[in-house]
Chains A and B, each alone.
Chain A
Amino acid sequence: GAGVSQSPSNKVTEKGKDVELRCDPISGHTALYWYRQSLGQGLEFLIYFQGNSAPDKSGLPSDRFSAERTGGSVSTLTIQRTQQEDSAVYLCASSLASPETQYFGPGTRLLVL
């Protein structure tokens, strides 16, 4: 079956612009996660959605970052007024429920010039 997909695979933007990153989880998975992978910080948790519960936003690094999950499926991570330090690979994962295995997408590589 189809795995987690993310788009775009690569994104180059200018400092100060807004970007949207998309994640399509595995069908039927109720939990969805966003992580960021960067050279300086390694792999960091950003935000977690579980069903209809309020998301766990404890990993978002600033209020420029936000995410939503529509209809319990597709998720969009939005970064407003991008900064160079936002350059990283943004990984999305989904799972059936806690503590099931998280399946990761290929990531979106973001470069902020």
Chain B
Amino acid sequence: AQSVTQLGSHVSVSEGALVLLRCNYSSSVPPYLFWYVQYPNQGLQLLLKYTSAATLVKGINGFEAEFKKSETSFHLTKPSAHMSDAAEYFCAVTKTGGGNKLTFGTGTQLKVEL
């Protein structure tokens, strides 16, 4: 079975500061990993995904994540936070080899302060 753990249900950063949202995964087979963002009263939007190609994945809105097998991590980063980044972020995992249901983490609410 696959699972993801997101450390920190709430993260607060200043505008212009580094954003770091943590995600650790557990999977018995090589995983596919995703970061989604959810703005209030909206559905989920894909930020980026890892599917066993390059370990450093670049996504939309300046976000990127690095797959580290040795640490079983897939942390999300952005060099400089913007007010519009305030939202809830979900890490998700699915397994290779068929079936594509996503298992989500509990989410991290990002607050960006002036």
Contact = CB atoms under 8 A, between A and B. Distances in A.
B101 A95 contact: no
Interface residues of B, number: 25
A11 B51 CA distance: 37
A48 interface: yes
Nearest to B49: A101
Interface stretch (B18-26, B65-73, B90-98): B90-98
A102 B43 contact: no
A98 interface: yes
A8 interface: no
Contact of B99 (A56, A91, A95): A56
B45 interface: yes
B109 interface: no
B107 A102 contact: no
Contact of B106 (A42, A50, A99): A42
Contacts of A103: 46
Given A48-B101, A95-B100, A99-B94, A104 B49 contact: no
A105 B43 CA distance: 6
A12 interface: no
Interface in A86-111: 91, 93, 95, 97-107
B13 interface: no
A113 interface: no
B43 A98 contact: no
B90 A43 contact: yes
Nearest to B94: A99
Interface of B: 32, 34, 36, 41-46, 49, 51, 90, 92, 94, 96, 98-107
Interface of A: 4, 31, 33, 35, 42-45, 48, 50, 56, 59, 91, 93, 95, 97-107
7 contacts: A42-B107, A48-B101, A56-B99, A99-B32, A99-B96, A99-B100, A101-B46
Given A33-B100, A43-B90, A104-B36, 14 more contacts: A31-B100, A43-B107, A45-B102, A48-B100, A56-B99, A56-B101, A91-B43, A91-B44, A97-B100, A98-B99, A99-B94, A100-B100, A101-B46, A106-B41
